[in-house]
Amino acid sequence: MEPNITTIASGLEKVRARIKEVAEKAGRQPGDIVLLAASKTNPADCIQAAFDAGQTIFGENYVQEALTKIAALTDLPIEWHFIGPIQSNKTRRIAESFAWVHSVDRKKIADRLSKDRPEALPPLQVCLQLNVSGEDSKSGVTPEEIADLAAHVIELPRLKLRGLMAIPELTKATALQRSQFRMLKEAYNRLKEAGYDLDTISMGMSEDLDVAIEEGATMVRVGTAIFGPRRYPIPEELAPR
Ligand SMILES: *Cc1c(COP(=O)(O)O)cnc(C)c1O
């Protein structure tokens, strides 16, 4: 048995309870918030344990690692989401194996994902990643660039634009965190007002999901609070950013 596989069901239970509590306090329906289990570094049997506890949506960051797990769990009706930085030589494998991509942040990547999406599959569901921290090192487009990228993506035949995603700067300062989530929500609202048919605001992780839900998240991406500490350190070029 993996060291913490036995705690996965209870971890999930706690996260679900937290989502329900925070949502209700914020006057929202808990059912309006989708839980994505961010499973990077956790092997297939950990994903199986979460699946057995009722979790069907999983997010992965590293193509190679994800493909191994997707192959191992091919019999399960799992919805796989790609949430990591996208290298352009990986778009084919992402387009072939995932239902969703949260981290689209350039036209070139969007073009390639659309071109590489197999005809036999439904359109790839995508979110555009917004840089809400203003740090140069972070992935994502600026609030000024988002409308242009959205206008481009909406024209691509094999992509379906669903919403926006962000990874705020990690900070204990709740006010700063809140302002970054609010920036994502406002960008989302502006696109909606411009006529885009969107339904997804992907924000909130183990450390900040309460604030994210208060600020309007419709999908939270939770790893550590479900699976425990990551199994190995994340290579710099693949870390969430
Ligand atoms: C790892 C990861 C998460 C989950 O992070 P935790 O802090 O473990 O909950 C969410 N989003 C992205 C993009 C990630 O890479």
Q: From ligand 1's centre to the CA of 120, what distance in Å?
A: 30
In this prediction, residue 3 has a pLDDT band, given cuts at 50, 70 and 90, of: low
The CB density around residue 32, as the number of other CB atoms within 10 Å, is: 13
- Among the atoms of ligand 1, which is closest to the Cα of residue 207? 7
pLDDT at 97: 98
Looking at domain 5-224, its CATH architecture is Alpha-Beta Barrel (3.20)
In this prediction, residue 147 has a pLDDT band, given cuts at 50, 70 and 90, of: very high
For the segment 36-63, the average pLDDT, to the nearest whole number, is 97
pLDDT at 238: 59
- Among the atoms of ligand 1, which is closest to the Cα of residue 40? 1
Q: Is the pLDDT of residue 31 over 90?
A: yes
Is 200 in contact with 207 (CB distance < 8 Å)? no
CA 34 → CA 54, 133, 144, distances in Å?
Answer: 13, 24, 28
For the segment 38-50, the average pLDDT, to the nearest whole number, is 96
Least Cα distance to 182 among 212, 204, 139, 147 occurs for: 212
Q: Is the pLDDT of residue 241 over 70?
A: no
**Between residues 36 and 230, the one the model is more confident about:** 36
The CB density around residue 23, as the number of other CB atoms within 10 Å, is: 19
- The dihedral built from the CA positions of residue 194, 197, 199 and 203, taken in this order, carries a sign that is negative
In this prediction, residue 239 has a pLDDT band, given cuts at 50, 70 and 90, of: low
Among 203, 205, 213, 224, the mutation site with the greatest number of ligand 1 atoms within 8 A of its Cβ is 205
What are the boundaries of each domain within the chain? 5-224
Spatial separation of the C-alpha atoms in residues 120 and 99, rounded to whole Å: 12
Residue nearest to atom 10 of ligand 1 (CA): 221
Determine which helix (DSSP H) or strand (DSSP E) holds 55, and give its type and residue range: none
In this prediction, residue 230 has a pLDDT band, given cuts at 50, 70 and 90, of: confident
Q: Which residues of 93-111 are buried (b: 16+ CB within 10 A; e: fewer)?
A: bbbebbebbbbbbbeebbb
Grouping H, G, I as helix, E, B as strand and the rest as coil, residue 2 is: coil
Ligand 1 neighbours (beta carbon < 6 A): 38, 40, 61, 83-84, 167, 205-207, 221-225, 240
In this prediction, residue 227 has a pLDDT band, given cuts at 50, 70 and 90, of: very high
Q: From ligand 1's centre to the CA of 119, what distance in Å?
A: 30
Q: From ligand 1's centre to the CA of 223, what distance in Å?
A: 5
Give the model confidence (pLDDT) of 172-206 as tens digits: 888 999 999 999 999 999 999 999 999 999 999 99
Determine which helix (DSSP H) or strand (DSSP E) holds 213, and give its type and residue range: helix 209-214
pLDDT at 236: 65
Residues 6 or more apart whose CB falls under 8 angstroms from that of 66 comprise: 60, 80, 82, 97, 98
pLDDT at 172: 81
Q: Any idea which residue has 């969430």 for tokens?
A: 240
Give the model confidence (pLDDT) of 82-109 as tens digits: 999 999 999 999 999 999 999 999 999 9
Determine which helix (DSSP H) or strand (DSSP E) holds 75, and give its type and residue range: none
Q: From ligand 1's centre to the CA of 171, what distance in Å?
A: 14
pLDDT at 2: 52
Q: From ligand 1's centre to the CA of 194, what distance in Å?
A: 30
